[in-house]
Amino acid sequence: MIFKETLPWIFDVSPHTGVPKTQTRRPELPGDLDYTLDFGESKKAGRKVYSLFGMGDEIGIVMRHGKLCFKVGQTYVVQPGRGKLGQGRIVLVAIRHCPIVAHISPEDAVAEGFATPDNFRAVIKKLYGEAALQKPFYALTFEPVQE
């Protein structure tokens, strides 16, 4: 997973908040399918069942073009750019759908490594353009993997 602007904050602390980055936003693309992990009756049978657009906003997996894109429990290499060497690993612990990325709470802005929602919005605008502020994104919550 690429972190162009904020990679050092994952394994250290953000200079803006004094705490490590624990969340990242990624754009939702046309055709993405999100699934909720449903552990109801199936848990007793010992298997996981994926139900399309399940209850609440907790997502277990995101499929993109028929391939797994994000999955809770999956580990990902973090790198500063495409083709660059990995700097460590993270594990996804939660995925949420954010209908409008600009509507970020102060708590989520801090989890992203920014002091305020306005600081976060400025970086989204820089990375994806102003129109992206009104588009849906996924909020990926993660933890660093100690290797």
CATH number at 19 reads 3.10.400
For 140, the token pair is 């990926």
Residue 116 domain boundaries: 8-145
Residue 79 and residue 89: Cα distance in Å, rounded? 9
Q: What is the pLDDT of residues 50-102, one digit of tens each?
A: 444 444 457 888 999 989 999 999 999 999 999 999 999 999 999 998 989 99
The answer to whether residue 2 is domain-embedded is no
The answer to whether residue 28 is domain-embedded is yes
pLDDT number for residue 52? 45
CA dihedral 124, 106, 70, 123 (to 10 degrees): 10
Name the domain count of the chain.
1
The answer to whether residue 104 is domain-embedded is yes
The answer to whether residue 71 is domain-embedded is yes
pLDDT number for residue 5? 87
The answer to whether residue 78 is domain-embedded is yes
pLDDT number for residue 59? 84
pLDDT number for residue 20? 97
Q: What is the pLDDT of residues 90-142, one digit of tens each?
A: 999 999 989 899 999 999 999 999 999 999 999 999 999 999 999 999 999 99
